[in-house]
């Protein structure tokens, strides 16, 4: 029997496995589909995350960041938000004495970096190429795989995404909805280097965002109705470029910097929140517990905060020396997970979800009184430097 079986070896699940391995637990990670190996000649993936300084600190402590940074990351030093050019707020790393605000990293490379670090852990088994066929729960968990093997674990952790098998097996319900809009991710390559600044413009049809990447690549995020994004996705690269030039702000091509369209894909936007993060011998982290509007790029950062809090609880129950088993089956551990992991993380995640929805509603319409209010907010925020600094510190996780 192992201490933890983690269903899902993505970014968050692999990070949790690393932390548990450092605490000397015996861990099995089930990940049916391993990421493709890194090839520096390949262009960027469409799925990119804005990794906060707090998340970088965690990944460094877990031994994964050096592997990630050795592949490719893009630090950014500025963040701008506006409705129109005369009403905007600009945030800079320099204003809070930081070298950068965070990094843009392809999701696959975050996962690969964690997996490379896991290869150094002799108390972690990674099972790939197998699907979970059945889950039986009692005092412990039994996970049956498609090859007939059964994994028995004291705790089963669902790090298996929004459609979590673990969550369903544990009978944990969710609340939430699918947003009316969707988002299109568009990879472009700029003709000239661009400043390491990310920006977001709000329009009545939804936000338009720019994320700088390595080697003059960048990612555009276009929120709109499903029908409009379906139309855009059907266009040839040259036609889509024309639509981008008509719709995105002038900052995209400032100083005569042209671009070409490389790739595109549409992603649904869903809000979901599990009613429990801990039930019986099961626990949920990351998207299995919560999905959020990606407006401010907080999704994976919330998942890494889950990992950090979960590990802080496990540290009190880790095995002490050889031959001394952990006390994970003790009811004290379960109660501690609920009080010290579930309750604070559920509360904080709900606050972030609500804030993002409020922000989305405030900035995604042209109702005159609301537009006046948001323009005033942006203009005032631009002038009050101490308030900007506090907001920025909270956003990047150093508050």
CA torsion angle 156 161 165 166 (round to 10): 20
Mean pLDDT of 101-105: 94
CATH dotted code for 2-37+103-176+270-363: 3.50.50.60
pLDDT for the residue numbered 123: 96
pLDDT for the residue numbered 383: 47
Q: Where are the domains of the chain?
A: 2-37+103-176+270-363, 180-269
Whether the predicted pLDDT of 384 surpasses 50: no
pLDDT for the residue numbered 354: 84
Q: Which distant-in-sequence residues (6+ apart) come within 8 Å of 354 by Cβ? A: none
pLDDT for the residue numbered 197: 92
Mean pLDDT of 27-37: 96
Mean pLDDT of 70-87: 86
Whether the predicted pLDDT of 322 surpasses 70: no
pLDDT for the residue numbered 18: 98
Mean pLDDT over the full length of the chain: 88
The correct CATH number of 180-269 out of 1.10.645.10, 3.30.9.10, 2.115.10.20, 3.40.50.1820 is: 3.30.9.10
pLDDT per position as a tens digit, 116-150? 999 999 999 999 999 999 999 999 999 999 999 99
Percent of the chain topping pLDDT 90: 67
Backbone angles phi, psi at 364, to 5 degrees: -115, 40
Distance linking the first and last C-alpha atoms of the chain? 40
Q: Which distant-in-sequence residues (6+ apart) come within 8 Å of 379 by Cβ? A: 86, 87, 88
pLDDT per position as a tens digit, 161-198? 999 999 999 999 999 988 888 999 999 999 998 889 99
d(CA 4, CA 15): 13
Backbone angles phi, psi at 66, to 5 degrees: -60, -40
Highest mean pLDDT: which of 306-320, 325-339, 354-368, 384-398?
306-320
What residues are paired with 28 via a beta bridge? Answer: 5, 125
Band (pLDDT 50/70/90 cuts) for residue 381 is very low
pTM for the whole structure:
0.91
DSSP 59-112: HHHTT-HHHHHHH--EEE-EEEEEEETTEEEEEESGGGT-S-SEEEEEHHHHHH
């Amino acid at each position: 029997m192992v201490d933890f079986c983690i269903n899902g070896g993505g970014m968050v699940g692999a990070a949790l496995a690393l932390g548990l391995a450092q605490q000397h637990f015996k861990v099995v990670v089930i990940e049916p589909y391993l990421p493709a190996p890194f090839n520096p000649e390949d262009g960027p993936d469409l799925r990119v995350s804005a990794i906060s300084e707090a998340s970088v600190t965690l990944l460094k402590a877990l031994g994964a960041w050096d592997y990630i940074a050795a592949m490719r990351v893009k630090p950014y030093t500025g963040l701008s938000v506006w409705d129109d050019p005369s009403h905007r707020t600009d945030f800079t790393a320099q204003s809070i004495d930081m070298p950068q605000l965070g990094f843009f990293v392809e999701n696959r490379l975050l996962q690969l970096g964690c997996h490379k670090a896991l290869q150094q852990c002799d108390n972690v088994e990674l099972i790939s190429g197998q699907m979970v066929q059945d889950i039986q729960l009692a005092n412990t968990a039994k996970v049956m795989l498609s090859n007939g093997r059964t994994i028995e674990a004291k705790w089963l952790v669902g790090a298996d995404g929004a459609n979590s098998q673990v969550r369903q097996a544990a009978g944990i319900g969710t609340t939430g909805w699918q947003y009316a809009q969707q988002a299109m991710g568009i990879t472009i390559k700029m003709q000239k280097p661009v400043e390491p600044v990310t920006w977001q413009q709000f329009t009545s049809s939804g936000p338009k965002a720019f994320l700088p990447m390595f080697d003059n690549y960048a990612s555009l995020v276009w929120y709109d109705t499903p029908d409009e994004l379906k139309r855009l996705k059907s266009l040839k690269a040259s036609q889509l470029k024309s639509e981008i030039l008509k719709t995105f702000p002038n900052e995209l091509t400032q100083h005569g910097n042209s671009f070409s369209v490389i790739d595109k894909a549409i992603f649904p936007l869903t809000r979901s929140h599990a009613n429990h993060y801990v039930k019986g011998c099961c626990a949920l982290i990351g998207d299995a517990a919560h999905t959020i509007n990606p407006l401010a790029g907080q999704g994976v950062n919330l998942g890494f905060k889950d990992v950090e809090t979960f590990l802080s609880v496990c540290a009190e129950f880790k095995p002490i020396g050889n031959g001394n088993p952990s006390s994970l089956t003790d009811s004290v551990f379960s109660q501690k997970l609920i009080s010290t992991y579930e309750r604070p993380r559920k509360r904080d995640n709900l606050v972030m979800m609500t804030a993002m929805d409020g922000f989305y509603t405030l900035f995604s319409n042209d109702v005159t009184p609301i537009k006046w209010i948001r323009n005033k907010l942006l203009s005032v925020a631009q002038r009050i430097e101490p308030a900007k600094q506090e907001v920025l510190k909270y956003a990047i996780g150093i508050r």
